[in-house]
Structures are given as C-alpha cells and as structure tokens.
Amino acid sequence: MTDSPRKHRLQIEALSKSFPGVQALDGLALGIEAGEILGLVGENGAGKSTLLNVLSGVIRPDAGSLESDGGALSLRDYKDANAAGIFRVFQQQATIPGLRVYESLFLSHESRFRNLLGLDRRAMIARSREAIAEFGLALDVRRPIGELELGVRQSLEIVRALALAALLGAEHPLLLLDEPTTALDSAQDERLLALLAGLRGRATVVFVSHRLPEVLRVCDRITVLKDGRLVTTLPAAELDEPRLHELMVGRGRAANYYRESEQRAPAAAAAPVFRVEGIEVPGEIAPATLAVRPGEVVGIGGLEGSGRSLLGKAMAGIVPVAAGTVAIGEDTPRTPDFHHLIDRGLAWIPGDRHSDGMIADASVLANFQLASIHDRFSRGGIWRRGAARREAERWVRELDVRPPRLDAKVGALSGGNQQKVVLAKWLCREPRVVILENPTQGVDTGARESIYELIRGLTAEGVGIVLITDDLTELIGLSDRILVLVGGHIVDSIAAQPDDKPDEKEVIALMSQSRTEVAA
C-alpha cells in the first residue's frame, strides 16, 4: 500500500525501461514524499542510475507514468525536468575548471542576467554570494573553479542546483543526487553530509550512495532496488547496515567483511617484493621510502591534498620524479618507468577508472587487452586475437562480469562491472605488485565483497599490494600496516593486524595534522 498521494512530491507508477539484453526497470512503483531525504540503494545494475535518468529527462521510459504534485508529468529532456523543478547532481562533476564560481553556478542560464548593456555580471555575482552564504560556504565567487578542492566543488554542485531552482521559480525543488560523496575523503564527506542534512524540509532529495552508513545517517526513508524492481521502502530508523546489505544482495553481510580472518602477517625475514627509495616530486611529495613484502597490504591514507594519489603515480612511474628509485623483487633499483615496471610485474589500478582505467566507448575485449597488447596478445607485431578472446572469456567468468559479453561497451556496464574489467586487464598479467587506488569507488556492497575476496586471494599468492583509498574503514580493514601521509610527508606507520586494528579516530587524528605540526 502506498502512502497518501497528497504527501507525494513525485509519484512513479509501473515504470519500465529496457536496453539490449537488460531489463533496467521492471514495473517500478514508488512515491517520493515532499520535503524528505529519500535514500536510493541497490547493487550495481539494480536500476538506480536508469531511474535517475528517467526522472531527469535524460532518457524516456518504455512504459509507466510520472505525477508531480498530483499532475501528470512528461519529460522530453533535462530542460523539461528543470521546468518541473527537478534538478540533478551527476556522479561525474559538471564543472569547467576555467570558469569562475559565479559563472559556473548559472552556466547556460546567463540570459536571465542580461540587461540593455549586455551581461550583468554584478547581478550574477550578487546572486551567487547569496546562494553560497545560505549554506555557510566562505568562498570568493570570483575564484576559478579549478582552484577549489574537490569537496568544495562537489558542494557547489548542490548549491548550483538550488540556485537554479530559485532562479527558475521552482517552489518545491526535487534534487537527484547521484553518489555525490564517492570521490570525497572523510573530512569532505562530513561537510557535504552536513550541507545535505540542511536541505531537509527546504527541498525534496533523492540520495544515491554506495556508502551505507551515510545513507542510514542522513536519510528519512530508504528505498531498495534489485534487478529494476522495488524490494522495499522503509524508515531509516528501522534499518541498520547488515539488514540493508541483506535487502540489497539477498543475503546477510558477512561479519568478516574485509576478510580479516584471511589476513596473514608476511614473514619478517621475507625479502621485499617492492622497494621504494627516496621518491620525490618537488613541492608535492617529500622523499618517500617504503617496502612491501610478499602477501602484504601496505595502506596509504591521507586527506585530500595530502599527496596520496600522486605518490601512487610516482611509484608507478606515471608522473616524473626528481629523485628516487623503485625495484621489483631482486631487480636493480632505478628511476621509476611505467612501461619497464609493467614488464617486471607491476599492475596499476587507477583511482579514476573513467579517465585513467578504461575507454568507455570500447568493448570489454578491447579494454581487456590494453595492458597486454604489446606482449601477451601479440607475436612478431601480429595481434593474437584468439588468445586475447580466450583470456578475456576466462576472466569474465572468473570475476563474474555482467553481462558476460565481450562485445558490450564498457561504458554501458554498471560501476562494479566496469571495475571488474579494469581489474581483469591487469590480473591476467599475473602481477607481483599491485598499486590499488580506490578499488571499490562507486561499487555496491555486494561487488565490494567480491573485490575484497580477490585482494585476499592475491595476497595468499604472495602478491604485494599498495592500497590507496578514501574509505577509512576499508583502509583499516584490508591493510597490514598503514602509512599516513600529510602534506606530501609520510608522518607515521600504524600496525593493522587482524586482531588489533587501529581506531578510526586515531587514524583521522594523524591524517589531520597541519603542515606546521609535521615540520616541527
């Protein structure tokens, strides 16, 4: 039974949408109450993004209907959605680094600020200041977007949606937030969640996130989707993380979520499989030295701006270094060179798979070959197509990539399946060392378990892993020890044995040191 229609900001009835080989939405019915923050969760492929695409006019459904404030709603495009008071914050930021804040907030709506002399920039600046002040952001709206840290830019995406709602006269805006916290560290996440909580009652919000604790914390009700269908909608107060996990994946969440029981301390006498000596990036990374033993997970943690991602790229030879060497196994230490390290057994899983890890418009097979087309899948300059296809089919089965089609475009897959393709691309090379950055970013809780199982399987085979992640519980749960990075300096090393994991507050306190404290 649905709630009283008079409470609904949006009513969804019998909504269906299919793509070749996939039923993305299957007769979905859902009511979104005015003024609430509604959490929307489900595994990758559950239909969350498809639903947001329909509600924002990006795609049209095959069947079903929408009602807004009691009236029928037909959306041909995003402009129609805006006219109906519906605004979306996409998972990938829609900001242009060279624009100033006030220009970004009202991009494509400049006509509303024109006067007889042309564009009234003073009016745009004044309106922008009002918008950001409303949310307690201390920011010069004349600054270029590209100069701002990631968390501030993400907050501005939400401010922009509300500023446009006010500009267009939308009295009851509906905000669709598609994983806005995915790329944020813990401190940035806290600020964004506080901003989100401040929207309660002022706007209606649909909040999509794979981070279940924040969904439980900030939402009034939570809707669970599976295979394009509604599983249930319940008050957040009646749920906890294990129950929500069970509703999403159809089974209870394992108490041993990070596979701590499979964590084995590497032999103290074992020679390192990966050695880093004095790696330095001027002005960014102070000389860094570390070693990874076979089967060891060395975590690197730090807040935004700490240099954690850059350190990973420097070790992999992706960015140039001013000094320092790396070596795999008994190799002679040398200045890091990406192509050399790949051939010696390095795998690099980037933090941003969309820009660095895959080609969205290319097939699963084409992406799978990217790291090995120069050796494993070619001979004498001739492409070994059959060998590549056989290997790809094996890894698609082994990692349970869905749909299991080598000709499918990777960009059309869910986030979890995209990440599996990126992992397969490197794992087929049987690496000795893996640098993993945010391996579960944008991945649902069920797929996370599969990736954690995979990581433990690699360590059991003696593979050394450098883990760089924004997810603090993941960092603590998976690591044997954690290196804390502040202002480009490794300031501490924390043991993280399975029976003696460090407290989150302890780790955050070390990460939050100022540059002055580090220098002292």
Tokens representing 221?
A: 């009700």
Residue 443 binned pLDDT confidence (cut-offs 50, 70, 90): confident
End-of-domain residue from the set 249, 274, 295: 249
Distance of CA 454 to CAs 161, 400, 445, 519, Å? 39, 12, 14, 39
In a domain, 511, yes or no: yes
Rounded CA separation 465/274 (Å): 9
Count of domains for the chain: 3
Is it true that the peptide bond before 403 is cis, omega within 30 degrees of 0? yes
Average pLDDT over residues 386-391: 94
- Higher pLDDT among residues 428 and 202, named by residue: 428
| Residue 5 scores a pLDDT above 50 | no
Say yes or no: 406 and 445 in one domain: no
Query: How far from chain centre, in Å, is Cα 192?
Result: 15
State the pTM of this model: 0.73
The reply to whether 379 falls in a domain is yes
Judgement on whether residues 83 and 215 belong to the same structural domain of the protein:
yes
Q: Could you give the percent of the chain with pLDDT greater than 70?
A: 96
DSSP state, residue 31: E
3-class DSSP assignment, residue 224: strand
Burial class (CB in 10 A: 0-12, 13-18, 19+), 297: buried
184 pLDDT above the threshold of 80: no
Same domain assignment for residues 14 and 110: yes
Answer yes or no: is 255 within a domain. Answer: no
Q: Are both 211 and 170 inside the same structural domain?
A: yes
Are 386 and 264 in the same domain? no
Would you say residue 228 has pLDDT above 70? Answer: yes
Q: Provide, rounded to the nearest whole percent, the portion of the chain with pLDDT above 90.
A: 63
pLDDT confidence bin for 1, thresholds 50/70/90: very low
Domain termination site, one of 249, 278, 307: 249
Residue 358 domain flag = no
The predicted model gives 332-349 an average pLDDT of 97
Three-class SS state of 511:
helix
271 belongs to a structural domain: yes
CA 199 to chain centre: 23
Length of the chain: 520
The pLDDT value recorded for residue 514 is 61
Q: Please check whether residues 137 and 199 belong to one and the same domain.
A: yes
- 352 domain-assigned: no
- 192 and 273 share a domain? no
Query: Do residues 401 and 274 both lie within one domain?
Result: no
Of the candidates 202, 228, 249, which is a domain's last residue?
249
407 close to 364: Cβ distance less than 8 angstroms: yes
How far is CA 63 from each of CA 22, 57, 60, 417, 509, rounded to the nearest angstrom?
15, 14, 9, 27, 52
Quote the domain boundaries for residue 477. 260-345+431-519
pLDDT over threshold 60, residue 6: no
Residues 386 and 302 in one domain: no
Question: Which tens digits make up the pLDDT trace of 490-511?
Answer: 999 999 999 999 998 899 899 9
**50: closest CA among 363, 413, 408?**
413
CA distance 46 to 231: 10
**Average pLDDT for residues 235-239, to the nearest whole number?**
96
Instruction: Convert the pLDDT of each residue in 452-472 to its tens digit.
Output: 999 999 999 999 999 999 888
- H/E stretch holding 82 reads helix 78-83
327 with 279, same domain: the answer is yes
Res 211 pLDDT > 90: no
Does any domain span residue 353? no
| Any domain includes 505 | yes
Rounded to 10 deg, the angle between the 415-427 and 385-398 helix axes is: 130
For the segment 10-35, what is each residue's pLDDT rounded down to a tens digit? Answer: 999 999 999 877 789 999 999 999 99
pLDDT > 90? residue 220: yes
**C-alpha span between 228 and 207 (Å, rounded):** 17
- CA-CA distance, 212 to 208, in Å (whole number)? 10
Cα separation, 434 vs 414, in Å, equals 23
pLDDT, one tens digit per residue, over 39-98 is 999 987 789 989 999 999 999 999 999 999 778 999 999 999 999 999 998 866 767 888
Token pair for residue 208? 């999509």
Q: What is the 3-state secondary structure (H, E, C) of 473-502?
A: HHHHHHCCEEEEEECCEEEEEEECECCECC
Looking at the structure, do residues 88 and 198 belong to the same domain, yes or no?
yes
**What's 223's domain CATH number?**
3.40.50.300
Looking at residue 517, its pLDDT comes to: 58
| pLDDT given at position 154 | 83
Q: Does residue 314 share a domain with residue 224?
A: no
